[in-house]
Amino acid sequence: MEFARNKTVRGIDLYYEHYQNPDAKETLVLLHGFLSSSFSFRHLIPLLKEDYNVISVDLPPFGKSGKLSSFKYSYKNLAATVVELMKSLGIREFNVVGHSMGGQIAMNILLHHPDHAKKGILLCSSGYLKKASLPLVLSSYIPYFHLYVKFHLARSGVKQNLQNVVYDHSMINDEMLYGYLSPFFEDDIFKALTMMIRHREGDLSAEELRKIKAPCLLIWGEHDKVVPVRIGRKLNNDLKHSELVILKDTGHLVPEERPEDVHQLINRFIVAEETVEATANGSR
């Protein structure tokens, strides 16, 4: 059974897609990257839903979720919002899959809500980024600053951004361009992005990452220009129970570029960890 709907969580309208598999034992929660939405998982979801319950969330202020200026867009609050959504759906335990910025929010969930997040799958996850500089944060208080944000994003262009995140440019088509452009047709998102600049607390430190006990699978594109492989290697070193897999001839947008490989790697990881858990429980 599949459905998409909006639910008010922590005062904001949260859009999510729920793909229910009655035979599945595990639930995967998908979190997209910056300037993206559930659209980025459109090739991966049809594969995952055959084996798992799948919930894809549009993180505010992106996609079809709310874009309120009154919401706190810190990673810690976004992580808590996702967990609260899961609780409201009666899902106490889940595995979290995060791409790019979504990976950083996934790690916030793993750190701050360890009773709910069992395992993490990090796809080219952002890492070690500092909080926005003080001048930029102060600039966000200038009236109409959101128009500068809009101008900056318009100048860079969706097509140019996509060329930066995929290795094979021939895969960029009209459907892809429109899918990533459509959320930016309304001005409300630029006001919310201004608040995100103001609220973002910076990525988890190495010390915080070492406190994460959950097993993590890191999947990276060999030619990732946005979050280079060296970040993946550093995360793999700081996370206690992790494995790094590097995909050849792949850029930053691994859910789009290599959905079949990502699906197989997730399956292998989940099954392997279930075997470890069963062995550990049997030895007690």
Catalytic residues: 100, 252
- Give the residue from 77, 76, 33, 31 showing the smallest Cα distance to 55: 31
Burial class (CB in 10 A: 0-12, 13-18, 19+), 226: middle
Q: Which pair of tokens denotes residue 156?
A: 């860079």
User: Could you tell me if 229 and 103 are in contact, meaning their C-beta atoms sit under 8 angstroms apart?
Assistant: no
- 143/60 Cα distance (integer angstroms): 22
Helix (H, G, I), strand (E, B) or coil at 52: coil
Name residues whose C-beta falls within 8 Å of residue 268's C-beta, 6 or more positions apart in sequence.
none
In total, the chain counts a number of residues equal to 284
Q: What are residue 99's DSSP bridge partners?
A: 123
Dihedral sign, Cα of residue 115, residue 117, residue 120, residue 126: negative
